[in-house]
A and B are shown apart, each in its own frame.
Chain A
Amino acid sequence: MSSDRVAAVELVNVRKFFDGGQVKALDGVDLVVQHGEYVAVTGPSGCGKSTMLHLIAALDMPTSGTLRVDGVDLGQIRSAATYRRERVGLVFQLHNLLPQLTAVQNVEIAMFGTARSRAERHREAMQLLSEVDLEGRENRPPTKLSGGERQRVAIARALANQPSLLLADEPTGNLDERSVALVTTLFDRLRAERSELTMIVVTHDNRLAGSADRLVRMRAGRVDLGADPKSSSSLERQ
């Protein structure tokens, strides 16, 4: 990480209010995430973690404040969809795979609108599924996959367009112990193998948060503190 580069993600006094200001989901968040950094965001339910992630993904707009990704103000981008396709990989708590498609097709459709040919899309989707240890399960529909497998398909889909930013919202929230371990290992591997990939993971899970470079704790719509994720006290489930 070089200090003269712009930050991967930068939030300056970001606010997000709902119901005409009655609900203050984010109330002046300042946060800088450097390129290649793996940040875990924790905090009690309703503290604004997911809202912050949605804003970074341009799924929603802040009420006020500035949000920059790679130096680009998200308030100024022409197409949020293009931004997401070109820069962002999204993983949700619920895998959000399309049930009518197979695992590989779910990954392929994320590459629609890119310059890749159909054969290239297929080859890369197969490769990604192999990277998330789903070889042999590529042609199964989500209903024929376990929860952990579905989430790994969702991660493969998030990586389909080689994003610079991976955003995951409670990716282990619905998984059993074994699957949590598998997904955590996968994030660790991504951290090790893709040094340029910036990862922001909202989680309640201590193991997943523990593998991050930095822990960001939120409370009542604000960033509470940045902690060393390896410190057990900072990983208490809140």
Chain B
Amino acid sequence: MVSFVALIVHNVGVKKVRLVLTTLAVAIGVLAVVALGVVTHSLENSALAVLQTGKADFTVAQRGVSDIINSSIEASQLPRVAQAPGVRQAVGVLIGTTKLDANNPQFIEIGIDPANLKQFGVTVVQGQAFAADASNELMLGWRAAENLGAHVGDGVKLDSTTYRVVGIFSTGQAFGDAGAMLPLRAFQTYQRQPNQYTLLFVQLAPGADLARVRAAIERDNPQLVTIRAVSDFGRADRSFSLIQAADRGSTILAIVIGAIVVMSAMSMSFVERLREFGVLSAIGWPRSRVLLMIFGEALAVGLLGAALGSLLSYLAVLVIQNLPSLTGILEPEYTSAVFGRGLYTAAAMTILGALYPALRAAAIAPLEALRHE
């Protein structure tokens, strides 16, 4: 018993080597799209985590830096932002990263004045906060303390300096809780960035209009940019914009390359099956059914490619995630949206690839097709 769908599935399996190669081509396209999508999404989440570390309505960074961690804001700009109409308070922090060990290649360090801890959303859960003028004290986030097996009173070596752990803190954000906080002044000195902040975390006064406050700050401080959501992130971080562009570009490229491969395979198949199309027309198949059959076969290959590509992308992200330079930085998140994009990429490349052969097959005169050897 054969149904139309069964016929499509049956036809797809006839040329096995071609099926494998075409599916592989689609899968590689899907792999690129899904893997890059997962990485981009994870980076977005990391970016969001940086923004959400401070309990702020929005964050202020230097405009157009290559990486938001490289943002540099003069200390003199903090009061200008803090005094802007509608701003309740602004907290400046200096953020840096250091390689702690092989498992923590990008350990996050946040320099902050202990007086601002509460406004910044930091809760000291063990021990106490460091002194403002201390030079060898720090607090560890509870995740970092767990990872390092460190306790209050222990010594922790960051670069060449040993700090005493005076407290354990929680911010409620995984990114912040996996790092350390140090006295702002000592950290600025250590980083050779006196009177510099990386980010300013701004809280609004009750009833203040968010959009107006942001616009006013950007107008009065053209070198600064305000960030509210991940979508704003690219305004400050050029690398992130590039990653997003690469992500979009890879999708387009995958569709184009995949479509060409599918078109090539299906054109070959079209020539081989010319007589078959003639027979189908001769026994009364309308053109629409021939079209539907070819698109159905293309879609079936697309589905196979999407499934294989998704599996390959999972493995690829697993490899990327465990690269020594990225350990602990990339926390991949496999969302349905990312896999959905893989699916529509596969569908797009196969439908586009099948378009020309399908139209030719549907348009060919049955007698001409029947004469084909």
Give the distance to chain B from A69, nearest Cβ to Cβ, in Å: 14
- Residue pair B283, A86 in contact (C-beta under 8 Å): no
The stretch among A26-34, A97-105, A194-202, A227-235 that forms the contact with chain B is A97-105
The answer on a CB contact under 8 Å between B276 and A98 is yes
Task: Name B286's contact: one of A82, A96, A121 (CB within 8 Å).
Answer: A82
The one of A54, A113, A157 that contacts B289, using a Cβ cutoff of 8 Å: A113
The total of interchain contacts (Cβ-Cβ below 8 angstroms) comes to 72
A186 close to B (CB within 8 Å)? no
A98-B276, A100-B14 known; A84+B284 contact, CB < 8 A: yes
B287 contacts partner chain A, Cβ-Cβ < 8 Å: yes
Complex-state Cα separation, A82 to B287, whole angstroms: 10
**Closest residue to A163 on the B side, CB-wise?**
B284
Chain A 109-126 per-residue mask, 1 if CB under 8 angstroms from chain B, else 0: 110110000110110000
B308 at the interface (CB under 8 A from A): no
| A108-B284 in contact (CB<8A) | no
Residue of A nearest to B14 (CB): A100
Which B residues between 276 and 318 are near A, CB-CB below 8 angstroms?
276, 278-287, 289
Min C-beta distance of B12 to chain A, whole Å: 10
Residue among A83, A110, A121 facing the most chain B CB atoms (10 A cut-off): A110
Q: Is the CB of A86 within 8 A of B284?
A: yes
Residue in contact with A82 in the complex, picked from B1, B276, B284, B365, CB distance below 8 Å: B284
Interface size bracket, A side: 20 to 34
Q: Is the interface of B mostly helix, strand, loop or mixed?
A: helix
A110 close to B284 (CB less than 8 A): yes
The yes or no answer to B17 lying at the interface (CB within 8 A) is no
Contact between B283 and A157, CB atoms less than 8 A apart: yes
A142 CB to nearest chain B CB (Å): 12
> A68 vs B282: C-alpha distance in the bound complex, in angstroms?
19
CA distance A108 to B11 in the complex (A): 15
Is B7's CB within 8 Å of the partner chain A? yes
> For the complex, what is the distance from the CA of A100 to the CA of B285, rounded to whole Å?
18
A161 within 8 A of partner (CB)? yes
Interface size, chain B (Cβ < 8 Å): 25
Q: Is B367 an interface residue (CB 8 A)?
A: yes
A90 to B11, CA, bound (A): 23
Q: How far is the CA of A74 from the CA of B278 in the complex (A)?
A: 20
With both chains docked as a complex, state the minimum distance between the C-beta of B259 and any C-beta of chain A, in angstroms.
25
Provide the bound-state CA to CA distance between A100 and B367, in Å.
21
Known: A54-B367, A112-B289. A81 touches B1 (CB 8 A): no
Residues of chain B lying within 8 A (CB to CB) of residue A112: 4, 285, 289
C-alpha gap A90/B282 in the complex (Å): 7
Establish whether residues A84 and B289, one from each chain, have CB atoms under 8 Å apart when the complex forms.
no
Chain B minimum-CB-distance residue to A100:
B14
Please, which residues of chain B bring their CB within 8 A of the CB of A135? none
Assess whether A110 is in contact with B14, with CB atoms less than 8 Å apart.
Answer: no
Of B278, B283, B287, which is within 8 A of A110 by CB?
B283
Are B282 and A59 in contact (CB-based, < 8 A)? yes
Instruction: Say yes or no: is A9 at the interface (Cβ < 8 Å to chain B).
Output: no
For A60, give its contact among B276, B278, B279, B367 (CB under 8 Å): B367
Partner among A96, A105, A161 whose Cβ is within 8 Å of the Cβ of B284? A161
Q: A92-B370, A100-B10, A119-B1 are in contact. Are A109 and B280 (CB under 8 A)?
A: yes
Residues 59-99 of chain B, each 1 if its beta carbon lies under 8 Å from chain A, else 0 = 00000000000000000000000000000000000000000
Residues in B whose Cβ lies below 8 Å from that of A54: 367
Cβ < 8 Å to B, chain A residues 57-71: 57, 59-60
A34 to chain B, nearest CB (A): 24
Give per-residue flags for B146-187: 1 if the beta carbon is below 8 A from chain A beta carbons, else 0: 000000000000000000000000000000000000000000
Q: Which of A90, A101, A121 contacts B283 (CB 8 A)?
A: A90
Q: Does A3 contact B (CB under 8 A)?
A: no
Q: Are A101 and B284 in contact (CB under 8 A)?
A: no
Cβ of A79 under 8 Å from chain B: yes
Does A204 make an interface contact (CB < 8 A)? Answer: no
The interface bits of chain B over 1-44 (1 if a CB of A lies within 8 angstroms of the residue's CB, else 0) are 11110010011001000000000000000000000000000000
In the complex, B366 has a CB within 8 A of chain A: yes
Residues of A within 8 A of B276 (CB): 98
Query: Are A118 and B283 touching (Cβ within 8 A)?
Result: no
**Interface assignment of B143: CB less than 8 Å from any CB of chain A:** no
Residue of B nearest to A96 (CB): B279
A81 touches B10 (CB 8 A): no
Tell me the smallest distance from the CB of A161 to a CB of chain B, in Å.
Answer: 7
**A81 engages B284 (CB within 8 Å):** yes
Q: Flag if A113 contacts B286 (CB, 8 Å).
A: yes
A81 touches B370 (CB 8 A): no
- Given contact pairs A98-B276, A109-B7, A113-B285, A122 touches B1 in the complex (Cβ within 8 A): yes
User: Known interface pairs A96-B275, A96-B370. Does A79 touch B286 (Cβ–Cβ under 8 Å)?
Assistant: yes
A137 to B290, CA, bound (A): 28
Chain A contact residues, CB within 8 Å of chain B: 54, 57, 59-60, 79, 81-86, 88, 90, 92, 96-98, 100-101, 105, 108-110, 112-113, 118-119, 121-122, 157-158, 160-161
For the complex of A and B, the 3 pairs showing the least CB-CB separation, nearest first, are A85-B284, A122-B1, A84-B284
* 7 A-B contacts (beta carbon < 8 Å): A59-B365, A79-B286, A109-B280, A109-B283, A113-B284, A118-B1, A160-B283
